[in-house]
Amino acid sequence: MDKMDKFLRVHNGERVNRSAIPHLSFHEFRNELLAFTVAGGQVVQFFAYRDNKDSSSLKLLAVLRNDKLYVTGCDAPDSFASLTAVTEKFHLFEREIGEQYGLKAEGHPWWKMVRYHRNCTGKADVFGNDYSEDIPGKYPYFEVEGEGVHEVAVGPVHAGIIEPGHFRFQCFGERVFHLEIQLGYQQRGVEYLLQTVPLKRLPIIGETVAGDTSIGHGLCMAQGIEALAGLEVDQGAKVVRTLALELERIANHIGDLGALSLDVAFSPPAAYFGRIRGDYLNLSQILGGNRFGRGLVRPGGVTQSMGEEQRQLIQEKITELTPEVEHVNDLIFSTPSVRTRFDHTGKVSQQDAERIGMVGYAGRACGLPYDARVAFPTECYADLPANSNGKIDGDVASRADVRREEVMHSTGLINTLLARSEEARTYTPQDIRLAPDSFVVTVNEAWRGEASHCILTDEQGNILRYKIKDPSFHNWTGLALALREQGISDFPLCNKSFNLSYCGFDL
Amino acid sequence: MLTILKVIKNRFEQGHRTSKYPEENINLYKRFRGLPIVNTNCDPAVVQQCAAACPQEAIDTDSCQIDLGKCVFCGLCESLSKGKYVRFSQNFEMGTAARNDLLFAVSLPNLANHSKKHFKKLFGRSLQLRQISAGGCNACEADTNVLNTPFFDLSRFGIQFVASPRHADGIHVTGPISKNMQQALLTTWEAVPDPKVVIASGACAISGGPFYGSEDIVGDLNSLIPVDLYIPGCPPHPLTTLHALLQFFK
C-alpha cells in the first residue's frame, strides 16, 4: 500500500481501516480532487456518509482512478464551492450528495434533483422540491425559445416493454438542440435498504440493482463482503464467476445489436439475434439455474460448481452459436442501408467523453480505452487477454462495432475458461461478520462498463454506508450529448446504441 | 456478396425456430428452479433453519408453506435442507388467479379453471396488453419482451404488447411500484378502456420482491388496483408467463 500524503492508494476489493484514509480539510480535499481530475484522473465514487449511525456529522469520501485507485476524505460542510464548476467529472456526484444528504454545492452550473426523494438528514431540501407532489413535480427543464422552436416530451411510460424515464427534447423542426433526461421513476431506496436490512438479504438485493447486470453488481457486492469478512474464493469459483460475467456481456451485446438493426428497419438480424440472445441466457441457466445468473454468485464463492456435464453443454452450444453470430453480424455490418444510418450518427467527441467520464463500451467507442478488467482485474481477468477496439469515432457505428468485437473477444475468453480444469468446491452458506471500522471499494467491468460498490462499516462491524455506482451514472450524460444536432428520429437508434440502465441509475 | 444473398443465406442457416409449445412440452435444464416440491413432513427444525435463513422471509414454519409471491427462487432452502424440505422442480407452470393460492405447499389450483369466464370470452381470441415497468429491474421486462422473439412468437396466439393504453385490454405490471411511478402507473391504468385485466408479474409486483420493507415502494400492486392474474418468479421464466397467459385467457 503506497501512502501519498493526501490520498491512500487502495487495491480493488482490498479492505482497509477507515482510520488509514487521509482526513483532509475541505479546502485541501477540494484542491486535491480538482488537481487529480484536471490531470486526467476520473471519479469512481464520490459520496457523503454519516460518521456513525447516531451522529449528525457528515463526511465526504472520494475514490479516484488513474491507472491506480485512490481514496481520500474530509468533513462535509453544509455548503461548499462546487467542484463541477471547475470540471464536469463531479456533475452528477455533487447533485446526488445534495439530494441524499442535503449538502449544497454552491455555484454548481446544473443544480437539479437526481432521483426525486427527501434527503436522509432532515435538512431543508436543497432543490426546493415539495415531495408531497408526485414526480415530475416542480422541475425546471431547460428551455429553448424562439420562432420555430418546439419541445417534445416523452415518458415516463414509453412505447415498449422498457423501464420508465422522462425525456425533453428542444427541437427546431426535426433537429434536436438539446435533450434533457430526467430519471428517478425507478428509485427503490436500494442503498438505504442495504444499510438497514439483515446481511442475508444483501445478495438478493445486489442481484436486482439492475437485472441485466445481475452478475456485474452481484460480483461487486460479493467481493466487497468477502474483503470485509475475510472470505477466500477458490479458483474454480472464480472461473465460474468470470464465465458468468462474460455470458452476461455477450447476451446483452447480441440483444442490442439485433435491436439496433431493427431501429434502422432491417428486421432479419433482429429476429435472429433476438433468438440467439435467449440461447446465451439459457447458458447462464445451465450454469446456475437462472437466465440472468441469479442465485449463483454469493460471498465466498458460487452456489453451483461447473461439472463436466455443464462444461460440455456450454462448449457445444458456444461452438454451434459462434459461426451464426459471425454471419448475422456480417449481415448487419455489410448492409449499406445499415451503415448509412450508423455512421456519423450520435457522435460524442473523445474530449467530451473524457470530460464527463464516460466508461465501458460507450467510452471505448470514443477512444477512452479504460476497461476495468484490464486496469483493476478481479476473478480470473489477470490471466486473460484484453480486447482493444479499432473504431473510435464516438458514433453509433463505433458503439456497435465495439460490441461486435467484444462478443467475439468474450467468446474467446469463455473458450479459455472452459478449458480450465479447476472445479469450484461445494458452497456452504456461512454466518459472516464484517470487520469493524473498515472500508472497501470494488470495481468490475460489467457489460455496460465500470460498476462499483463501496462499503463502510462502523465500530461494531455493521454497514454504515453502502454506495453503488452503475456505469449508467456516467453515461446518461453521454446520450444527452450524442443527441445534439441530430434528427429527433434518430433518438431510438442513439438510445439503443448506449442502452443505459434506468434502475441501475435510480437505485 | 449482395445483401439479399446474405439475407437468404442467413435465413437458411437460421431455419424455423418457433417452439411447438403448448402442443409439445418443453423440458428445462435440471438446474432451473421452478415450482418447488415441498416436504410437509419435514423435521420442523430443518424448516425453521430454512425459514430463518430465507432472505425473502417466504417460509411459514407452521404450515411448511412457501409464499411463491415473495420467493425469488434463489435455491438457498434446497441447499440448506439438502433437499429434505424443498426441492425445486423444472415445472415452470406457476401462474395463479388469487394471491392466496401462491401460499404453496402441495399443488397449485388449475389456472384455466379459475380464470374469469368473461375474460376468456372477451380476450380469448385477441389480447392486447400495455406493459408498465414500475421500479422493475429490467429482468422481468426483458424476459417478457423475449416472448416476441421467434422461439416463443407470442403473436401466434393473438396476444400482443401495444404502445398505447387506449389500444389495450389490460396492463401487465412489473417492479415493486416505486412511489415515483405510482401516479404514472395509475394514470396508464385509468387510460385503458373497461373491461380490463390487471396482471402482476414477478415477485416485486406481487410483494415488493427483494425490496420489501423499503419506504420508497408500494410493494403490492393489489393494494392499489385489483389484480386478476399473478405470475411469480424473479424474474418469471418466459414460459411461466406464456403458460399463465394461455391458461388464463385461452
Query: What is the rounded radius of gyration, in angstroms, for the C-alpha atoms of chain B?
Result: 19
| pLDDT above 90 as % of chain A | 88
Residues 6+ apart with CB under 8 A from B56: A201, A204, B67, B70, B71, B72, B74, B203, B209, B210, B212
pLDDT for A426 = 73
Q: Does B224 touch chain A (CB under 8 A)?
A: no
| Residues A163, B138: C-beta atoms closer than 8 Å | yes
Neighbouring residues of B12: CB distance < 8 A, sequence distance ≥ 6: none
Q: Which residue has the cell 409439445?
A: B24
Residue A272 has pLDDT above 80, yes or no: yes
Q: A326 at the B interface (CB within 8 A)?
A: no
For residue A405, name the pLDDT band (cuts at 50, 70, 90).
very high
Cβ pair A294:B234 closer than 8 A: yes
Q: Shortest CB distance from B32 goes to which of A115, A285, A336? A: A285
Whether the CB-CB separation of A122 and A130 falls below 8 Å is answered with: no
CB pairs under 8 A between A and B: 211
* Backbone torsions φ then ψ of B172, nearest 5 degrees: -120, 110
Give the one of A188, A324, A331 whose C-beta lies nearest to B176's C-beta.
Answer: A188
- CA-nearest residue to B167 within chain A is A159
Rounded CA gap, B25 and B87, in Å?
21
What 8-state DSSP symbol labels residue A33?
H
In chain A, the residue whose alpha carbon lies closest to the alpha carbon of B8 is A268
Work out the percent of chain A whose per-residue pLDDT is above 70: 99
pLDDT, mean of residues A217-237? 95
Q: Which residues of B are less than 8 Å from A207 in CB distance? A: 210
CB-based contact B216 A203, cutoff 8 Å: no
Residue A97 pLDDT greater than 50, yes or no? yes
pLDDT value at A197 more than 90? yes
Contact between residue A43 and residue A64 where contact means Cβ atoms under 8 Å apart: yes
Mean pLDDT, chain B, integer: 93
Distance CA B148, CA B163 (A): 14
A138 min Cα distance to partner chain B (Å) = 13
Residue A419 has pLDDT above 50, yes or no: yes
List the single range of A112-116, A216-220, B170-174 with lowest mean pLDDT. A112-116
The one-letter code for the residue type at A390 is: G
* pLDDT tens for each residue of A117-153: 999 998 889 998 888 887 765 678 898 999 989 999 9
Identify the band that residue B1 occupies on the pLDDT scale cut at 50, 70 and 90. Answer: low
| Domain ranges (residues) in chain B | 36-92, 111-249
Strand-pair partners of B171: B130, B198
How many Cα neighbours within 13 Å face the side chain of A45? 29
Using a CB-CB cut-off of 8 Å, the residues of chain B touching A162 are 133, 141
Per-residue pLDDT, A1: 39
Find the DSSP H helices in chain B. Answer: 3-14, 44-53, 76-80, 111-114, 117-123, 139-145, 179-191, 202-207, 238-249
Closest partner residue to B183 among A117, A134, A291, by Cβ? A134
- Judged against a pLDDT cut of 90, whether residue B242 lies above it is answered with yes
**Reduced to 3 states, what is the DSSP secondary structure of residue A363?**
helix
A278-287 pLDDT, tens digit per residue, is 999 999 999 9
Q: Which residues pair with B230 in a beta bridge?
A: B96, B200
pLDDT single digits (tens) A343-357: 999 999 999 999 999
Helix H or strand E segment including A24? strand A23-24
| pLDDT at residue B158 in the model | 95
A289 in contact with B, Cβ within 8 Å: yes
Judge whether residue B138 has pLDDT over 60: yes
What is the nearest CA distance from A333 to chain B, expressed in angstroms? 10
Q: How confident is the model at residue A428 (pLDDT cuts 50, 70, 90)?
A: confident
pLDDT confidence of residue A137: 59
Flag whether residue A367 sits within 8 Å of chain B, measured between CB atoms. Answer: no
Rounded to whole angstroms, how far apart are CA atoms A113 and A60?
19
Rounded to 10 degrees, what is the CA torsion of A397, A444, A237, A206? Answer: -100
For chain A, which domains are there?
8-106 (no CATH), 149-182 (no CATH), 213-461 (1.10.645.10)
Cβ <8 Å between B14 and A272: yes
| pLDDT band, very low/low/confident/very high, at A455 (cuts 50, 70, 90) | very high
Is ipTM > 0.85 here?
A: yes
Q: What is the DSSP letter of B54?
A: -
Q: What is the pLDDT of residues A40-89, one digit of tens each?
A: 999 999 999 998 877 778 999 999 999 999 999 999 999 999 999 999 99
Q: CB of B71 within 8 A of CB of B209?
A: no
Average pLDDT (B226-249) is 96
% residues pLDDT > 70 (chain B): 100
Q: Is the pLDDT of residue B27 over 80?
A: yes
Nearest to B137 among A162, A289, A503 (CB): A503
Q: Are B11 and B57 in contact (CB under 8 A)?
A: no
- Domain B111-249 fold is Rossmann fold (3.40.50)
Residue type at B98 in one-letter notation:
A
Touching check for B167 and chain A: CB below 8 Å? no
Mutate which: B180, B212, B214, B218, vs A, most A CBs within 10 A: B180
Can you tell me the mean pLDDT for B170-182? 96
- How much is the average pLDDT of A15-31? 95
Q: How confident is the model at residue A479 (pLDDT cuts 50, 70, 90)?
A: very high
Q: Looking at CA atoms only, how far is residue A186 from chain B in angstroms?
A: 4
Q: What is the mean pLDDT of residues B226-244?
A: 96
3-class DSSP state for residue A393? coil
Beta-carbon separation of B216 and A208 below 8 A? no
CA B192 to chain centre: 21
Q: How far apart are the first and last CA of chain A?
A: 32
Mean of pLDDT over chain A:
93
Grid cell in block for residue A283: 447458458
ω into B236 cis (within 30 of 0): no
